[in-house]
Amino acid sequence: MSLKKSRVPTTRLGRLARLGFTAGEIAVGGMAEGVRRLRGVTVDDAYNVFLTATNAEKLARQLAGMRGAAMKMGQMLSMESADILPREFADALAVLRDSADTMPLAQIRRVMGREYGKGWENKFIDFVYMPVSAASIGQVHRVQTTDGRDLALKIQYPGVAKSINSDVDNMAMFMRMLKLLPIEFDIAGIIKEAKRQLHQEADYIQEAEYLTTYRELVRDEARFVVPKVHHDLTTKRILAMDYVEGVPLESLGDDGVRQELRDSVGALLECLVFRELFEFRTMQSDPNFANYLYQPEEDRIVLLDFGSTVTFNKEFTDQYAQIARALIDEDNGAARHYAESIGYLDAGNSDEHAERILDMIRLVCEPIRYDKIYDFGTSDLFARGRDAGMEMMLGDMSEYKVPPPETMFLHRKLVGSYMLCHRIGARINVQKLILPFLPRPIKPGARSN
């Protein structure tokens, strides 16, 4: 976690100025990179002179200080676009997944006073001002109440909720200006959905409801721990819940950890993804590694942060079940049909374009397609996905369409679960986990390979 303290900029003008300064820094860096490439000093392995590790570090530094929706979009860029960004750029932005700057003491006290009123300190016998964690929307503090409860308070940064729309618009303009996304991308739908989701994340009353609901949904699995909400201390800007201890889940990837444990934890998490999609139709869609802890003595996984929870309608999840079934059956006709139903393709797309999109879907679903143990730890799936994405972005984009916004959160969770399994070195037969949720084979006698 970052130990750097900085005041959260709370005004729209202040936040726009911060982003504008960053754009200027990156523009200058891009010009310098262009000159170096012309002189042959560097190898041009990226399609954009702005996409350098140095510029990504500048961007990450500024977004970590801004926090809020701007930082959240930086996190999303580092994950959703990891397959189309140069490795160095994506890696430098990855720091945004771990932590933000923390609020100075005076700003914390002002937020507490605004939410709890004068004399708020009397509610607690201990308040640890050094945060346990700091993320894009808020930071978490451990406290002990006067009646003896050991709690975690997630305290929202001031001004975050009011700045969401302008932050998202400014970041979209920023990415366009610096060509961080192909100019052909029509991201209006994604921008609209990002604003809706971020407004939801900034409403801690809503998150408390999701947290309570999810706690009930996984009650039948003893290896999951979901903190209990304490409604008497929860407001729209402060979420009070049980303080739950554990070690970072990704530490299971350390040397000396039994392979059986890695596999067991990975399988449990992958099965949860499929239960969220097909059974609950409610998904915690932020796969940030910091949202998972592990309790070694109890062999339990702690699930944290339900601000980015989404719900899917049955038609949508049924279509995903059908396309997964078609991929397992190697039924290309059915796969294309359901890709059109979901919105990845249009009926009038050329066969060449349809095959490119289907190849990307097959790649993303590689662990699902084969009835065998998939070794996430040694897989080069992410590198192949990045190369395929780069190749597609550099090709003819005239037929490309941005998928429906709701798919963005599903993709983030699915790919994020793969990344977590990769980090802990899990080996799993993923197909066996998803098959119970899928319809029967489309073709009589269809087989899995």
- Between CA 67 and CA 79 the distance in angstroms is 17
Nearest alpha carbon to residue 17 among 62, 52, 51, 53:
62
- Between CA 22 and CA 31 the distance in angstroms is 14
- Between CA 44 and CA 249 the distance in angstroms is 37
Chain centroid offset of residue 218 CA: 21
Backbone angles phi, psi at 136, to 5 degrees: -75, -35
- Between CA 212 and CA 77 the distance in angstroms is 29
Q: Residue 254: CB partners within 8 Å, gap ≥ 6? A: none
103 contacts 46 by C-beta, under 8 angstroms: no
Collapse the DSSP code of 153 into the 3-class scheme (helix H, G, I; strand E, B; otherwise coil) and give the result.
strand
Sign of CA dihedral 342, 347, 353, 359: positive
Beta strand segments in 277-378, E = 282-284, 292-295, 300-303, 309-311, 374-375
Nearest alpha carbon to residue 286 among 95, 97, 83:
97
Helix 12-38 and helix 68-80, axial crossing angle in degrees, nearest 10: 40
Please identify which residue in the block is written with the tokens 């300064």. Answer: 21
Query: Which residues are annotated as catalytic?
Result: 286
